[in-house]
């Protein structure tokens, strides 16, 4: 089952996407469909067919976002999280080869933007990092085998401080 957790930033981005689709993109495409339909034979009208398909795609995304936003639970930072890795944390990790990464644990709905530092709460790396502290050793089981990482730092975005 898909996690319903989301960061406030991720939620705000989905709300903005929904507003843009509904208030900007959909009305524009609807105008194009109506204009193309007024030209007559729709079966061979590329403008009509393309924009009608685009309108269906927008409508599907609008329906999905409308339903999904109702299900999501925004997780904001609370002071009790300080010093440990929980949902929404930015975590700097390093391995024995000196390779360093800075990752943020986010909800599955926040992965769509392909932000290179975002990892899903459901990923093996996130599951391994949860509840750990700075200087802890983390064992991550990947398709390529077991990897060991060390936590260098943990930080959170606090409300009003992004």
- Sheet strands side by side (includes 100-106): 118-120, 100-106, 90-94, 145-155, 137-142
pLDDT in tens, 39-74: 887 888 888 999 999 999 999 999 999 999 999 999
| H or E segment to which residue 85 belongs | none
Q: CATH 1.10.287.180: does it fit domain 3-72?
A: yes
Average pLDDT score over residue span 137-162: 86
Kindly indicate the confidence band of residue 1, based on its pLDDT and cuts at 50, 70 and 90. low
pLDDT above 90: residue 160: no
Kindly indicate the confidence band of residue 141, based on its pLDDT and cuts at 50, 70 and 90. confident
Quote the CA–CA distance of 66 and 14 in Å, as a whole number: 10
Instruction: Show the DSSP H helices in 72-162 as ranges.
Output: 124-129
pLDDT in tens, 11-38: 999 999 999 999 999 999 999 999 988 9
Domain regions of the chain by residue span: 3-72, 76-154
pLDDT above 50: residue 83: yes
**CATH top class, domain 76-154:** alpha beta
How high is the pLDDT of residue 143? Answer: 84
């Amino acid at each position: 089952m898909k996690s319903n957790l989301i960061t406030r930033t991720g939620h705000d981005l989905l709300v903005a996407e929904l507003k843009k689709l509904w208030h900007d993109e959909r009305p524009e495409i609807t105008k194009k469909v109506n204009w193309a339909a007024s030209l007559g034979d729709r079966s061979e009208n590329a403008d009509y067919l393309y924009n009608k398909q685009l309108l269906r795609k927008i409508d599907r995304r609008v329906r999905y976002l409308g339903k999904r936003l109702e299900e999501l639970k925004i997780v904001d930072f609370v002071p009790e999280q300080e010093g440990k890795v929980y949902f929404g944390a930015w975590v700097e990790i390093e391995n024995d080869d000196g390779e360093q990464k800075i990752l943020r644990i986010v909800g599955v709905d926040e992965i769509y933007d392909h932000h290179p530092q975002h990892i899903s709460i459901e990923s093996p790396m996130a599951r391994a990092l949860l509840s750990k502290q700075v200087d802890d050793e983390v064992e991550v089981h990947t398709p390529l085998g077991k990897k060991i990482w060390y936590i260098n730092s943990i930080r959170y975005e606090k409300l009003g401080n992004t």
